[in-house]
Each structure stands twice: as structure tokens, then as C-alpha cells.
Amino acid sequence: MAATQVQYSGLPPLQNLLGNICRSPIAEAVFRKLVTDEKVENKWMTDSAAVSDWNVGRSPDTRALSCLRNHGIETAHKARQVTKDDFQTFDYILCMDESNLRDLKRKSNQVKDCKAKIELLGTYDPQKQLIIEDPYYGSEKDFETVYEQCVRCCKVFLEKSH
């Protein structure tokens, strides 16, 4: 699982997913672009990480990279696993589905001084699509759907958070 972590005023969001090679790198890259476009990048720290260690060190899925490039977004992300420090550093850990949410909350219970608010990124979707489905076994169109959901959700999250 992977998540995107976000923190405001020097406190970040982390986006978290299963393998950290599809959804969360897209969400992280989208959020970085939004805060850069809004000229508030100095107020935010963002990262993404996986609940699992399956893909640590790997670049995002080629279809995720292609989707981002089609929208003029580049990323040099390498997959990593969420750490105890993430729960103490980031203000928000935003995840993509119920399984991510459950695993992250379980991990957070093992962390002393956890400050991160852990929630679904989809709670910010104006179209009310709560779950951002994993496109790994799908097509390029599925990656585009993830991108569109991430744009909608990250825009609303940013508006509500600063």
C-alpha cells in the first residue's frame, strides 16, 4: 500500500499506497505541481511511501510516468516504505483505499507521538469517489482516471488546508 504525506507550514502530507509505484507517485506529483503553481511550495512538504516493501527503490510504473508526462509533470520518485518517523513528521497521511487506511491506522497505533491525520484522499473528491482504485492491472485509461481523481482531490485538499 502507499500513501501520500502532506505537511503544511513545514509540516507535510504523505500519500500512501500498496507498492508506491502507481497511485501515490501520481498523487504526490500532482500535489507538488499544484503547490508550485499556487506559489506555496515553500509551505508544503510532500512525499509518498508504501505500506509494503515490495517495490522499494523502484521508479513508478511506466504507465504512471507516461500519464504524468502527458500532463507536463515529471517525477524522479523512487518507491520507499512508510516509516515510524512519517507518522511523527507529517500532518496528513492520505491513502487511496480502505485497505491502506486500515493498515496505516494499525501501524500508527504502534507509534508514540503520532501526529499524522490518516484519511482517504478521496474524502476530498467533489465527485464523491471515495476510493482511488489501483490501476496496476488495468490500462492507460485507468491511470488517467487515477490522475483525474488525484487532481480533483488534491485541489480541494489544498483549498481546505491553507
Q: Which of 23, 32, 63, 152 is catalytic?
A: 23
Q: Which of 86, 97, 125, 134 is catalytic?
A: 134
- CB of 162 within 8 A of CB of 8? yes
Q: What is the DSSP letter of 157?
A: H
Task: Answer yes or no: 134 catalytic.
Answer: yes
Q: Is 131 left (phi over 0), alpha (psi -120 to 50) or beta?
A: beta
Task: Answer yes or no: 23 catalytic.
Answer: yes
- CB of 29 within 8 A of CB of 65? no
Quick one: three-class SS letters along 83-123? Answer: CHHHHHHCCEEEECCHHHHHHHHHHHCCCCCCCCEEEEHHH
Radius of gyration of the chain (CA): 14
Give the residue numbers marked as catalytic.
23, 134
